[in-house]
A and B are shown apart, each in its own frame.
Chain A
Amino acid sequence: MSTLAHVFEEAGIATVALGSIGAHIQGTAPPRGLWCEFPLGRPLGKPNDPEFQHRVLAHAFGLLGSSEPVVEKFADAITDDGTETMVCELPPRHDPSLHPAVDEANGLRPAYDRAVAKLGNRTGAGRTVAADDIGAAVLAFTKIAEGTPWKEAGIPGIPARVAQDIRGYYETAALALAEHAPAAWAGARWFFTSTEAGRAIVDARQAMADAGEKHPIWFYITPGDM
């Protein structure tokens, strides 16, 4: 962001850059920067909290009054200690003939559709894998986890992007099931630790690493600290 801010400012547009990582926004020194110590993915801090978002914007736009380059820090911090997890009841087993992860994915479809109807689809399925095909994509990861080479498992695209769509499908469905705004990363932790699909993706990633696949192919399947 700071790189673009330098470029746009050079072109005659006054800029204000929000940054979630202090070392980055201070190190790149944009013309005007506001370090907001918020979780990655939430640069305005709190979803569905217009008052808080306006406070961030008021500070940011206030920097336009500076007569020289400036980087400041927003007063409030929102931190994630890695412990809060969404609590979502998963659908009961419906079709015993299916792999449990596929049955689970299919069972979440009504919740996913409710969430999309209410919120729109910004981060759910559809970038690489349509909602109708999530079950097949999940099955491909279970095969990798069980030892099938990834190129033979039927992954319908670049593994990281396919995994992103599966995670997005689950997190979107979870928003309908939980009916509250989760803390940052609580949805991802729920997905990777509490669901059959999430665990299959984690296991598949490990299997790919153990098989000596190229680092970028498996590393970006989950968040980097996993």
Chain B
Amino acid sequence: MADSDIKALTGGLELPDFESTAFTTPPPLAEAKVAIVTSASLHHPDQDDFSPMDTGYRVLDGGRRDYMCGHWSPNFDATGIALDLNTVFPIDRLDELAADGTIGSVSDIHLSYAGNQFDLSAVRMDSGPAGAKFLRDHEVDVALFTPV
């Protein structure tokens, strides 16, 4: 069992194709509100766990630290996030960057999706746009995307 072997298993996956790359110019980082969007299937214990092909998202409360990893894949090391949430979800690091003025502020809410998807159409057409609108409605300027 080796990380390189597991990564090699993904070599045959068909990657989504985008005809063009959308591009949004952010405000200066020191003025920007930043949120994390992770595909680690994080959720709070009182929220629904992710089902095997769950294409929805969970809203994470940035004031809490009781996150569980609901990701279904066995193909990642889980001890990193078990030891330190910031290995996947760097919420404490963002708080530090906001405190020293590097970023404007940290959003009170963040989003979590399930990364173990074979069919991305629902994420692309439904839950993705819905999550983006949710963050825009909360005046988020910048989103940091983290996988597992």
Contacts and interface: CB of A to CB of B under 8 A. Distances in A.
Interface of A: 1-21, 23-24, 27-31, 39-48, 50, 53-54, 57, 60-61, 64, 67-69, 79-82, 115, 119-124, 126-127, 158, 160-161, 163-164, 167-168, 171-172, 174-175, 181-182, 184-189, 192, 220-226
Interface string B127-138: 011011101100
Interface of B: 1-11, 13, 15-16, 18, 21-26, 29, 32, 37, 39, 45, 49, 52, 65-70, 72-88, 90, 92-94, 96-97, 102-103, 113, 115, 120, 123-124, 128-129, 131-133, 135-136, 140-148
Contact of A123 (B24, B78, B86): B78
A23 B37 CA distance: 21
A42 B5 contact: no
B9 A225 contact: yes
Given A15-B37, A122-B69, 17 more contacts: A5-B145, A7-B129, A11-B132, A18-B146, A24-B15, A39-B80, A40-B75, A44-B86, A44-B93, A45-B87, A53-B87, A64-B29, A122-B68, A174-B79, A223-B74, A225-B2, A225-B5
Contacts of B82: 115, 119, 122-124, 168, 171-172, 175
The 9 closest A-B pairs by CB, nearest first: A82-B2, A41-B76, A14-B26, A11-B132, A47-B84, A7-B128, A41-B77, A80-B3, A225-B5
Nearest to B5: A225
A160 B74 contact: yes
A181 B79 CA distance: 8
Of the listed residues A8, A23, A45, A158, the one surrounded by the most CB atoms of chain B closer than 10 A to its CB is: A8
Nearest to A23: B11
Contact of B128 (A8, A54, A124): A8
20 contacts: A3-B123, A3-B128, A4-B128, A11-B129, A14-B142, A21-B7, A24-B15, A31-B22, A41-B78, A42-B80, A44-B87, A44-B88, A50-B93, A115-B82, A122-B82, A123-B79, A174-B79, A185-B2, A185-B3, A222-B74
A4 B74 contact: no
B147 A20 contact: yes
Contacts of B133: 11
Nearest to B103: A61
Contacts of A39: 3, 76-77, 80
A13 B94 CA distance: 17
Contacts of A54: 93, 96-97
A9 B22 CA distance: 6
Nearest to A62: B29
Given A13-B143, A28-B15, A43-B87, A175 B24 contact: no
